[in-house]
Structure 1
Amino acid sequence: MPTTAPHGSWRSPITAGLITGKQVGLGSPWLDGDVAYWTESRPLEGGRVALLRRLANGRTEEVAPPTFNLRTRVHEYGGRPFTARDGIVVGVELKDQRVYRFEPGRVPVPLTPESGGALRYADLVLDLARQRLLAVREDHRGGGEPRNTLVAIPLAGDPHEGAVLAEGHDFFAYPRPSPDGRSLAWLTWDHPDMPWDATTLWVAELDAAGRPADPRAIETGVAESLVQPEWSPDGRLHVMSDRSDFWSLYRVRNLDLEPVALIAAELAGPLWQLGSRWYDFLDAGTAVAIATERGVQRLTLLDLVAGTERPLDLPFVEYAGVSCADGVVLVQALPADGPAQLVRVEPSRSGFATIASAGALDLDPGHISLPEHITFPSEDGRQAFALYYPPRNPDYVAPAGELPPLVVRSHGGPTGRASPALNLQIQFWTSRGFAVVDVDYAGSTGYGRAYRSLLEGKWGIADVEDCIAAARFLAESGRVDPSRLAIRGGSAGGYTTLCALAFHDLFKAGASWYGIGDLEALARDTHKFESRYLDRLVGPWPDAVELYKARSPIHHTDGLNCPIVFLQGEDDKVVPPNQAEMMVEVLRKKGLPVAYLLFPGEGHGFRRAETIETALLAEYGFFCRVFGIEPAEPLPPLRIENLG
């Protein structure tokens, strides 16, 4: 018989320790023939990223020594930190950013020189015909912005910083040699564009020394985002373009693009991390791609001749990192009610095989709240989207007539998207009796370029309006308590959160995870990749300085009238701690309840198990005290200033 208890006070088996202790982060699936490679981010090892592989005989082994942490810092967000081909494995070590060659049981061999981390490498591609490695290099040795180039690194001999193959642009990505080794394709973009705004695809013949000769740009005549150029097995260059609103697959022909598959779904995404893969070739006539439609993803087969698709019947709602070899697909797959998996799929057969899992999850399905994709009206007549999670715990019911408190999640990016895959941090809340809504506000990915462009010039306005509209929609429909509405977010989502609290009075509490309070400081202090991002979202810096001040919560703290908890990494280079501290000091002086937790050794996004647990419990404890809820379990002490 369920126990009657107020929303928010339900005891749950989904503890903070469960979220970190039994789960690893799977990533970067890669097939080298019949050998499967992937990375595991391990919170219990301080967030260390390990490289693993499964051999054809089924044996799994760690490729790099346990002292190695594979992570590239190019663009600060990094990306795929390794590659493998014909048994040769290379990867980037976090501490020194050098590229190493790995063989299990042997000391890793450095391919690049010691630079104190000033030379960084990403988007690694092996060119075995020339016994070299192609990579994007980011050089921090000079003054001002780092210099990005494409380089070739020998696989033998003394460590080499790389011979420059292409330069002259602010950013490079996807060096891709053709199957016959005669040509090279790559992407570039320049300030103030981000890669989801406009990129250029280049193609060049390679001379006898392997250098690009007479590079030619694919001139399309329109502003479009081209992403992930790849050569099919028969030597045809393909690329994803969003010229038709959705990212779709195109073929390069005579320095122009012709559509291959136009379907009513997004086939790629924003290039935040180098080496991201949304599709691969199963054979010369078939590609396997990730399609996103109305918040849910599917793995689908694209007929490159007919331009049609055939979705694969798999029990997952989210995918990442497609890799194909010999008629087999390796992909990260996430269900709505279980842990992430690395799965092996043979499209010619039914079913799939699990190669690795993010961890054991022995939970009663009754504790899992499944999301509902909702569409609701927002400002200026536009529609917005979200995933709504109602409270769910089979052991409890709320008192008659009591509505649950609501946590509004504003994702980061701000080009991110709400995922319907199982997120234990969301289930942490819903299993305790909170409702959660994960908002795909204007600017989110997965709904086409036009929807993504709605945030241009309106960051801090349209995203906030949509978060408010989601909360009001749920409150007016009688699903949540209008007097207990909270908003939370990290990074760009933290900015949306702070704007909602500074410029509006709907929410009664907020939580900012490494969120942006001062747009001027962000424009001045952030790294190269995002240094001109705000030109489109807000206005050109510094010409639009008054607009930056008008949009910065730090300059409008007079509008703050509710408690806020700030959670911040001490080593954050994207959003430095001083931004959170400026906001905290203002709240202190105003006498508003505030809590501030600074985590040494953490950057932009928390990786350590103890940090993730402490931050989550602090947020839960903060909202409980603000909303007068008796917590479901004993919580660590939390100092909340100005709260009796």
Structure 2
Amino acid sequence: MGQTKCETPYGAWKSPLTAEFVSGSSKRLGGAAVDSDGRLVWLEGRPSEAGRGVLMWEGAQSGSFPEEITPPGFNVRTLVHEYGGGAFAVKRDNVVFSNYADQRLYKQSIRGDRTPLPLTPAYENKAVRYADGIFDGRFNRLIVVREDYRQEGVEPVNDIAAVSLNGEANLEPVSLVKGKDFYMFPRLSPDGQMLAWMEWSHPNMPWDRTSIWVGKVSDDGSITNPVCVAGGDEGVVESASEPQWSPKGDLIFVSDRGNGFWNLYSWSVGGKVQSLCPMEAEFTRPAWIFGISSFGFFGDSGDQIVCAYRQRGVSHLATFDLSSGSLSPVKTRFTDIYNLFVHGNEVYFSAGSSTDTLSIVKVCLAEGKAGAGEDTVLWSSLGIDLEPYKPYFSTPRVVEFATKVEGETAFANFYPPANGYFVAPSRERPPLLVRSHGGPTLEASTTLDPAIQYWTSRGWAFADVNYGGSTGYGRAYRERLNGQWGIVDVNDCCSCAEHLAKIGEVDPKRLCIDGRSAGGYTTMATLVFKDTFSAGASLYGVLRMSWKRTHMTVLQSTF
């Protein structure tokens, strides 16, 4: 016989998911790669070490413990665009990384002597920063995005630069591409003869308007004959992103031209841009950070792509055949998939689900189709056995609700109260906590979040709202917030709570809201201008626009 549940009012249930458990147990993931032997290298941020970033190396044998690559005193993190990402690159048995304390690049051997050797000059006050590096074997250099703060009183200068790998630490990197406010995704063609990149300038953000360029790598290493592949038509508003070269030398990228969703496109030297798989789905994410990767190539033919895309708040994994144009699903239990890369016929990606915290997952692929092997979790942000906690986990479902604008709807991930040992009185309805995510152009995730389960395991309902302006639903949805921040997001959070109360899921007299950063602003605006919520909490919210003008990052300075 099963255990009898204790009847206790919502909000008073007991749970082992304590505040200490939530705040101190979860590591952060800063990217992953593989070495020459196919062993995984990943960057984890550790709350127990004040967020220090440490590169880890997969154990040589199955089940063996991973090794720390980063020695004490080093912290792998870049501050380019302030949000970072793309802080390290791996090539065979070597890794190049950005060190937080001085923002210099260091080269380090994965095997043998792991003493980091500086590659870039030392500047005061972290004045020069680097990210998104790729190795250029033809010239023994690393091509990076550089951000230069050495000129006082003006905005920092962004460019694409080349860093020598010959060990001359005082050698100034050579500028390759410059003139725009921002750069991302420098990517070399397989033969090393062409360089592709993404660029944009104020007042645009990378999800507003960007362009993809390709230039020839000349015999002296400079970039010549630049050609605009996408985003060059002034009459077309386009956000193009993630340029990658196929094994055959064609450029594959993502753009929201046409249907307003970030879809896959191809371009051949001397040819035209072609749509590969038009559908109402997002094949990339907003480029807040470096290191985003939503697709890769596998197999010997050079025609096979494995990709991740999102529809209505849920990620899907699929393969795409460039020769036939067919998209085939790859079965996986994960509902949140990103930062995908391929090694041979194995695809690695960051992932989560309602029962999985942030993880690194590996799936084996066969030529042209998904392999029969199951998902293999190589790393988990919690690193503990979750089985004892499963009776306390709430499974979310996507809810669609009407907004204040006639004919429009918005979405939220709704988590009902869940606890295997408690039940509420039959006529009682639970209190609700609504979360307004940050960005504001981010998206609520379905990955298992102990901070959400903290509430639901105690008898609270929780709604993670993807208000108008969130990404993942196409450009038109994303642009609902243009000129309407503090209006659309506020109305949608109120509409979500009111909808859940109307259908009997929550108590209309016990509605609360919280949010971080931009979500904190939404929270305070909701409490000041609306009567829907009884209480709320703004966590490091943006409350004074005068502060925003003087303290926001350069990336956001005209946002």
TM-score (norm 2): 0.93
Question: Percent identical across equivalent pairs?
Answer: 41
Is the Cα contact below 8 Å between 2:303 and 2:323 reproduced in 1? yes
Is the Cα contact below 8 Å between 2:159 and 2:182 reproduced in 1? yes
Tell me the distance in 1 between the aligned counterparts of 2:476 and 2:334. Answer: 27
Q: Partner of 2:260 in structure 1?
A: 245
Tell me the distance in 1 between the aligned counterparts of 2:486 and 2:405. Answer: 15
Q: Is it true that 1:115 corresponds to 2:131 in the alignment?
A: no
Of the three residues 62, 65, 68, the one matched with 2:68 is 62
1:380 is paired with a residue whose SS is coil
Q: Partner of 2:379 in structure 1?
A: 356
Is the Cα contact below 8 Å between 2:118 and 2:167 reproduced in 1? no
Q: Is it true that 1:207 corresponds to 2:218 in the alignment?
A: yes
Residue identity opposite 1:295 in structure 2? G
Deviation at 1:246, TM superposition (A): 1.2
Deviation at 1:2, TM superposition (A): 1.7
Residue identity opposite 1:258 in structure 2? Q
Deviation at 1:523, TM superposition (A): 2.4
Residue identity opposite 2:181 in structure 1? D
Residue identity opposite 1:31 in structure 2? V
Q: Partner of 1:269 in structure 2?
A: 285
Tell me the distance in 2 between the aligned counterparts of 1:67 and 1:300. Answer: 41
Deviations 1:90-147 (A, max 9, x none): 0111111111111244320011111131101111111122100011110111122111
Of the three residues 246, 257, 262, the one matched with 1:232 is 246
Tell me the distance in 2 between the aligned counterparts of 1:72 and 1:255. Answer: 37
Tell me the distance in 2 between the aligned counterparts of 1:31 and 1:157. Answer: 23
User: Within 5 Å, which residues of 2 pair with 1:30-45?
Assistant: 30-33=33-36, 34-45=38-49
Q: Is it true that 1:369 corresponds to 2:394 in the alignment?
A: yes
Q: Is it true that 1:466 corresponds to 2:492 in the alignment?
A: yes
Deviations 1:278-326 (A, max 9, x none): 1111241111111111111111111122222111111111112111021
Q: Is it true that 1:451 corresponds to 2:477 in the alignment?
A: yes
Q: Partner of 1:3 in structure 2?
A: 6
Of the three residues 21, 25, 28, the one matched with 2:28 is 25
Higher helix share: 1
Residue identity opposite 2:123 in structure 1? S
Equivalences, count: 533
1:524 is paired with a residue whose SS is helix
Q: Partner of 1:581 in structure 2?
A: none
Residue identity opposite 2:150 in structure 1? R
Is the Cα contact below 8 Å between 1:27 and 1:332 reproduced in 2? no
Tell me the distance in 2 between the aligned counterparts of 1:324 and 1:265. Answer: 22
2:273 is paired with a residue whose SS is strand
Deviations 1:408-462 (A, max 9, x none): 0001111111111111110000001111000010011111111111111111111
Is the Cα contact below 8 Å between 2:262 and 2:282 reproduced in 1? yes
Is the Cα contact below 8 Å between 2:401 and 2:496 reproduced in 1? yes
Residue identity opposite 1:367 in structure 2? Y
Is the Cα contact below 8 Å between 2:25 and 2:47 reproduced in 1? no
Tell me the distance in 2 between the aligned counterparts of 1:380 and 1:20. Answer: 38
Q: Partner of 1:408 in structure 2?
A: 434
Q: Is it true that 1:130 corresponds to 2:139 in the alignment?
A: yes
Q: Partner of 1:157 in structure 2?
A: 167
1:521 is paired with a residue whose SS is helix
User: Within 5 Å, which residues of 2 pair with 1:163-562?
Assistant: 163-218=174-229, 219-220=232-233, 221-243=235-257, 244-253=259-268, 254=270, 256-283=272-299, 284-348=302-366, 349-350=371-372, 351-358=374-381, 359-360=383-384, 361-381=386-406, 382-533=408-559
Deviation at 1:514, TM superposition (A): 1.0
Deviation at 1:57, TM superposition (A): 4.5
Tell me the distance in 2 between the aligned counterparts of 1:251 and 1:127. Answer: 23
Deviations 1:487-506 (A, max 9, x none): 11111111111111121121
Deviations 1:196-245 (A, max 9, x none): 00111111111111110121212345111111100011111111001121
Tell me the distance in 2 between the aligned counterparts of 1:374 and 1:362. Answer: 27
Of the three residues 25, 48, 57, the one matched with 2:52 is 48
Tell me the distance in 2 between the aligned counterparts of 1:32 and 1:127. Answer: 16
Residue identity opposite 1:39 in structure 2? L
1:467 is paired with a residue whose SS is helix
Tell me the distance in 1 between the aligned counterparts of 2:425 and 2:35. Answer: 57
Q: Partner of 1:81 in structure 2?
A: 87
Is the Cα contact below 8 Å between 2:106 and 2:119 reproduced in 1? yes
Tell me the distance in 2 between the aligned counterparts of 1:398 and 1:57. Answer: 49
Tell me the distance in 2 between the aligned counterparts of 1:249 and 1:199. Answer: 15
2:208 is paired with a residue whose SS is coil
Is the Cα contact below 8 Å between 2:238 and 2:256 reproduced in 1? yes
Residue identity opposite 2:312 in structure 1? R
1:418 is paired with a residue whose SS is coil
Q: 1:339 to 1:380 in 2, by over 3 A?
A: closer
Tell me the distance in 1 between the aligned counterparts of 2:310 and 2:552. Answer: 31
Q: Which runs of 5+ in 2 are unaligned?
A: none
Deviation at 1:152, TM superposition (A): 0.1
Deviations 1:312-345 (A, max 9, x none): 1111111121110211111112121133321221
Residue identity opposite 2:534 in structure 1? K
Tell me the distance in 1 between the aligned counterparts of 2:409 and 2:483. Answer: 18
2:212 is paired with a residue whose SS is strand
Tell me the distance in 1 between the aligned counterparts of 2:335 and 2:548. Answer: 35
Deviations 1:526-564 (A, max 9, x none): 12100011xxxxxxxxxxxxxxxxxxxxxxxxxxxxxxx
Is the Cα contact below 8 Å between 1:245 and 1:448 reproduced in 2? yes
Tell me the distance in 1 between the aligned counterparts of 2:425 and 2:14. Answer: 15
Q: Partner of 1:95 in structure 2?
A: 101
2:21 is paired with a residue whose SS is helix
Q: Which runs of 5+ in 1 are unaligned?
A: 534-644
Tell me the distance in 2 between the aligned counterparts of 1:261 and 1:30. Answer: 27
Is the Cα contact below 8 Å between 1:319 and 1:332 reproduced in 2? yes
Moved over 6 A (4+): none
Tell me the distance in 1 between the aligned counterparts of 2:484 and 2:410. Answer: 15
Is the Cα contact below 8 Å between 1:262 and 1:307 reproduced in 2? no
Is the Cα contact below 8 Å between 2:30 and 2:85 reproduced in 1? no
The range that moved more, 60-69 or 144-153, is 60-69
Residue identity opposite 1:10 in structure 2? W
Tell me the distance in 1 between the aligned counterparts of 2:11 and 2:472. Answer: 32
The range that moved more, 478-487 or 344-353, is 344-353
Deviation at 1:154, TM superposition (A): 0.2
Tell me the distance in 1 between the aligned counterparts of 2:172 and 2:497. Answer: 52
Is the Cα contact below 8 Å between 1:27 and 1:38 reproduced in 2? yes
Is the Cα contact below 8 Å between 1:100 and 1:110 reproduced in 2? yes
Residue identity opposite 1:288 in structure 2? V
Tell me the distance in 2 between the aligned counterparts of 1:196 and 1:475. Answer: 34
Is the Cα contact below 8 Å between 1:174 and 1:229 reproduced in 2? yes
Tell me the distance in 1 between the aligned counterparts of 2:454 and 2:172. Answer: 46
Deviation at 1:55, TM superposition (A): 5.8
